[in-house]
Structure 1
Amino acid sequence: MDQLPIFVTLKNRKVILLGSGEMADAKRRLYERAGAVLTDDEQAQAALAVVAIEDDDEAAAAVKRLKARGLLVNAVDRSALCDYTTPAIIDRDPVLIAIGTGGASAGLAKAIRQRLEQMLPARLGQLAKGLFTARGQIKQRWPDGSDRRRAIDAALNPGGTLDPFADQDADAIDAWLNDPEAGNQTGVVEVTLHSADPDDLTIKQARLLGQADAIYAEKNTPDAVLIRARADAERFDLEAFDATQVTGLTLVIRYS
């Protein structure tokens, strides 16, 4: 690991941004979303600096001056000059997922972000806020720390009451606290695939693949699709399916 991923609080903190044009505008939007106060004053007292200057020589000179002041610098599209890089971001406030490639390929980071965006429900941030609000109730329900961790882990497991990859109801946490064992997804769900391309999976299908405890699939089901399933999910040929033996969440996949 050549870089340490960290989350920096920039709200109301000054960040120097040098440059103009499309690159600078993109960085401006990103840092302003994080609440930073941007300035083009190179001598300003700032937390970080961003150099988005088109000319290579001018950019290198600006980076050198800023680093001489002890600032951490991001040089747009010049990874060799960067003290830090900005990742591709999935924003489910307060949940943030950052994908970085160490400056190797912004396009690859973007492609991964777009893929993950399809899998993460819009209400994920609300689940995080709800768990934060309910900390007192959770501690009261499970006073022992070990019991509390086990209960939370079970609820957040694939198919669990609070599975973060499922689109939770607004009262999901209250329901879980009232009955921790209720609501865990079980039974058989059937899915019919019409394409060998995993990018053609619906959001629901992708989530089910990530949640299922066991998968029964037709022999011709594409490996590129099955690889999206949980690594620890048991896999069987559909011909071996026996509904009377089902435990947990079982996914039946047919490929037409």
Structure 2
Amino acid sequence: MKSLPLFHRIAGQRVVVLGEGVAAEAKRRLVVRAGGVPVGEPEAHGAALAFVVLDDERDAKAAVRRLKHFGLLVNVPDRPDLCDFTVPSVLDRDPVLIAIGTGGASAGLAKALRLRLETLVPQRLGDLARALHGARTALRARWPDAGDRRRMLDQALGQGGALDPMQDGAVDAVPAWLEGTAEPDGVEPVEIVLTSDDPEDLTLRQARLLGSADVLLHDRDVPVAILDRARADAQRIALPCDGPDPGGLVIVLRRAGR
């Protein structure tokens, strides 16, 4: 089941939770942890979300119909066909949240992946996020051009970079990095020749370049699965094309033999 991943802010807002028992209490804790206020169906006015944790399928479907009639988005645990949204397994490094979802296919798999990531992601990752947020004014002053600023952050946050987020000491390096004399790398176009239509065959370097690209110039038959490995806001231009260099980091994606 395809989904659009979103983070829904519910601080101070009502969230309907129907049901009793362990599973329902878990949903109430989840709501409270996100700053929301769990309420029953009679207090649904003003709410936007609802959790229906009812064992009886007929009761659950009836509750879903009622709540949807009032415009609420509804989640029913273990019944993805009744859900407007699903709840991911969340790795919390406040304010950084890493959400892992399977579209309702397997909550156990999502949890297993989260537990694996818990051992890899530093506890101070949230401190790094706050440090970068606090440095926004200094970042704009240091690199006024948005493209330069993004490229410098990409370099610093990349593996082995000055602010590598997988290293606990990254947060302490922010002031020194801002005061450094480094300038953005050159932005000459980089050509990637695809060896197959499978995005899993991309090399680590190719995947990194796609993730940093500002512009993709691509053969028209490059698979969408590979184009989607780039940033969602990267400009896509099918080849051949005319006109001036669009600027920024340009990646040229070619099929083999072109």
- How far apart, CA to CA, are the structure 1 residues paired with 2:146 and 2:100? 32
Correspondent of 2:204 among 231, 235, 240? 231
CA contact (8 A) 1:142 1:148 kept: yes
In structure 2, the residue matched to 1:94 is: 95
In structure 2, the residue matched to 1:171 is: 172
- How far apart, CA to CA, are the structure 1 residues paired with 2:158 and 2:150? 12
Letter in 1 for 2:28: R
CA contact (8 A) 1:161 1:180 kept: no
Letter in 1 for 2:75: N
- How far apart, CA to CA, are the structure 2 residues paired with 1:47 and 1:140? 40
- How far apart, CA to CA, are the structure 1 residues paired with 2:2 and 2:150? 32
Q: CA deviation at 1:40?
A: 1.1
In structure 2, the residue matched to 1:56 is: 57
- How far apart, CA to CA, are the structure 1 residues paired with 2:151 and 2:43? 52
In structure 2, the residue matched to 1:123 is: 124
- How far apart, CA to CA, are the structure 2 residues paired with 1:169 and 1:84? 35
Could you tell me the TM-score, scaled by structure 2's length? 0.68
In structure 2, the residue matched to 1:153 is: 154
State the Cα deviation string for residues 128-171 of structure 1 (Å, max 9, x = none): 11001001111111122222222111100100010011112543
SS at match of 1:90: strand
- How far apart, CA to CA, are the structure 2 residues paired with 1:86 and 1:96? 13
In structure 2, the residue matched to 1:7 is: 7
SS at match of 1:154: helix
- How far apart, CA to CA, are the structure 2 residues paired with 1:27 and 1:165? 31
In structure 2, the residue matched to 1:254 is: none
In structure 2, the residue matched to 1:73 is: 74
In structure 2, the residue matched to 1:109 is: 110
- How far apart, CA to CA, are the structure 1 residues paired with 2:56 and 2:119? 37
* Structure 2 gap segments, 5+ residues each: 183-202, 207-258
CA contact (8 A) 2:53 2:76 kept: yes
In structure 2, the residue matched to 1:144 is: 145
Q: CA deviation at 1:231?
A: 2.9
- How far apart, CA to CA, are the structure 2 residues paired with 1:180 and 1:116? 34
Could you tell me the TM-score, scaled by structure 1's length? 0.68
* Structure 1 gap segments, 5+ residues each: 182-229, 234-256
- How far apart, CA to CA, are the structure 1 residues paired with 2:18 and 2:87? 16
